[in-house]
Amino acid sequence: MIQAALIGAGNSGRLSYGVYAKKRPNEIRFTAVADPDEEKRRLFGEQHDIPLERQFASWEDMLDVPNLCDAVVICTPDHLHFEPAMKTLEKKYHLLLEKPIAPSPDQVIKLQEAADQTGKLMLICHVLRYTTYFKTLKKLLEEKAIGRTVSVQWNENVGFWHYAHSFVRGNWRNTKQSSPMLLAKCCHDVDLLHWLIDSDVTRVSSFGDLAYFKKENAPVGATARCTDGCAVENECPYSAIKQYYNEKTTFPQNIITFEPTLEARWKAITEGPYGRCVYHCDNDVVDHQIVNFEFANGTTVAFTMTGLTNDNTRTFKFMGTEGEIRGHLEKNEIEMISFNGRREIIRPEGVEGGHGGGDFQIMSYFVRHLQEVLEGKKPISTSAAVSSHMSIFAAEHSRLTGNIVRMDEFLAEIKSRAISKQS
């Protein structure tokens, strides 16, 4: 059985990976936790029978304890990944790191180098590639069900309510406090594209902006908070009262407070960040962005992210030399259309766990793989995750500069900069 420590006892750590450990006690057990929030720390400690002396207010204090565990799971906010991840590897622990790896390309490369130098497993939580849905798609492409893939259309439909929750009011609203939208939300998508197409990106271009969720678009009568007597709250689709002041216990209602009572919900939206008007927040991440990827094998991808959709889902179309594959994630449908007239709709089997089963499946993979590592087998490379992150950094560079980015030149510049800093 794997002994693990958790850094960051928020929703991913507690509700995804922590729940897996509770349901599979023969595979993995959390024996230590670090989080500056006492309520989160104590709750996780109680759920996993962690003694008080193994509950830490800081990850620094936790990692100072010798022979702590076999592996560390890090689920801190995006901009707080690098330092605890680097220290984890320096302390010679294996690592399961929530995506994204880090908010800058320099830090991503340093973590990869540290994992390689220490010989420790570093697995990134790109959970969607572990779902039965996307593994089914991968198998179809590998079997050349539509011949050679020539072009792809991929949409990340964030959903108006999800965008407002996470990227206007929530933890990922501000680039400096978190990371750019592509990295925070869409690194799943870019990772999937790299994995499914099985090639490296050669050129990138991107456009996007924050078009709607800003002060000048606030309706007449809108107040700083939805609970401040807003004149348009009743008809506003982004009303925090509509969104959170109810007894639902699923996402995103379960995010704003630990207690699912109406009293606790009301306090949260009258005092906390989730009650703010969507037009009067400190958000700066884009609400729409397009990215064009050219891959070395000739495949081209048109990727669109938008927060202005009704549905919260991913949709795609792979176009090949012998047919098409269309998909709608939330409907659990993969439609294969052959040019010879054959049509088939595939609905992959559902499995337990969030993100379509990906949260549990990546934990299962991590445990199995780590057992092999502990038996002396070579750990997997992190290069796939690093490669997709670099494509994201290139896309954001293109969006900000208006230039087409050649990946070879972009990577050479990053490495040159890293060498200059070391000298």
**CA–CA separation, 342 and 325 (whole Å):** 12
Domain extents in the chain:
2-125+357-378, 215-275
**Closest by Cα among 384, 14, 398, 388 to 188:** 388
User: Which residues neighbour 103 within 8 Å (Cβ) at sequence distance 6 or greater?
Assistant: 78, 79, 81, 82, 178, 179, 183
Cα distances (angstroms) measured from residue 129 to each of 15, 75, 142, 173, 281: 20, 19, 14, 25, 33
In CATH, which superfamily holds the domain spanning 2-125+357-378?
NAD(P)-binding Rossmann-like Domain (3.40.50.720)
User: Which residues neighbour 271 within 8 Å (Cβ) at sequence distance 6 or greater?
Assistant: none
**CA–CA separation, 252 and 254 (whole Å):** 5
Instruction: For tokens 């002060």, name the residue.
Output: 215
3-state SS class at 135: helix
User: Which residues neighbour 4 within 8 Å (Cβ) at sequence distance 6 or greater?
Assistant: 21, 28, 29, 30, 31, 69, 70, 71, 72, 73, 96
Work out whether the CA dihedral 331, 332, 338, 341 comes out positive or negative: negative
Q: Which pLDDT belongs to residue 352?
A: 82
Q: Which pLDDT belongs to residue 382?
A: 64
Cα distances (angstroms) measured from residue 399 to each of 15, 186, 387, 395: 35, 15, 19, 6
**CA–CA separation, 93 and 105 (whole Å):** 23
Report the first-to-last Cα separation within the chain, whole angstroms.
44
| Residue-level pLDDT, tens digit, the chain, 423 residues | 899 999 999 888 988 999 999 999 999 999 999 999 999 999 999 999 999 999 999 999 999 999 999 999 999 999 999 999 999 999 999 999 999 999 999 999 999 999 999 989 999 999 999 999 999 999 999 999 999 999 999 999 999 999 999 999 999 999 988 899 999 999 999 999 999 999 999 999 999 999 999 999 999 999 999 999 999 999 999 999 999 999 888 889 988 988 889 999 999 999 999 999 999 999 999 999 999 999 999 999 999 999 999 999 999 999 999 999 999 999 999 999 999 999 999 999 988 888 888 899 999 999 999 988 888 776 666 667 899 999 999 999 999 999 999 999 999 998 887 676 765
* pTM, full prediction: 0.94
The enclosing H or E element of 289 equals: strand 288-295
Beta bridge partners of 155: 304, 315
**CA–CA separation, 112 and 130 (whole Å):** 21
CB 329 within 8 A of CB 356: yes
User: Which residues neighbour 87 within 8 Å (Cβ) at sequence distance 6 or greater?
Assistant: 59, 60, 63
Side-chain half-sphere of 156: how many Cα atoms within 13 Å?
27
**CA–CA separation, 373 and 73 (whole Å):** 16
**CA–CA separation, 26 and 44 (whole Å):** 19
Q: Which pLDDT belongs to residue 284?
A: 97
Cα distances (angstroms) measured from residue 268 to each of 107, 161, 226, 260, 367: 35, 17, 12, 11, 37
Before 100, cis peptide (omega within 30)? Answer: yes
Q: Which pLDDT belongs to residue 351?
A: 83
**CA–CA separation, 195 and 139 (whole Å):** 11
User: Which residues neighbour 303 within 8 Å (Cβ) at sequence distance 6 or greater?
Assistant: 154, 155, 156, 186, 189, 190, 193, 290, 291, 292, 293
Q: Which residues of 250-262 are buried (b: 16+ CB within 10 A; e: fewer)?
A: eebbebbbeeeee
Q: Mind listing the pLDDT tens digit for each residue in 209-221?
A: 999 999 999 999 9
Q: Mind listing the pLDDT tens digit for each residue in 70-87?
A: 999 999 999 999 999 999
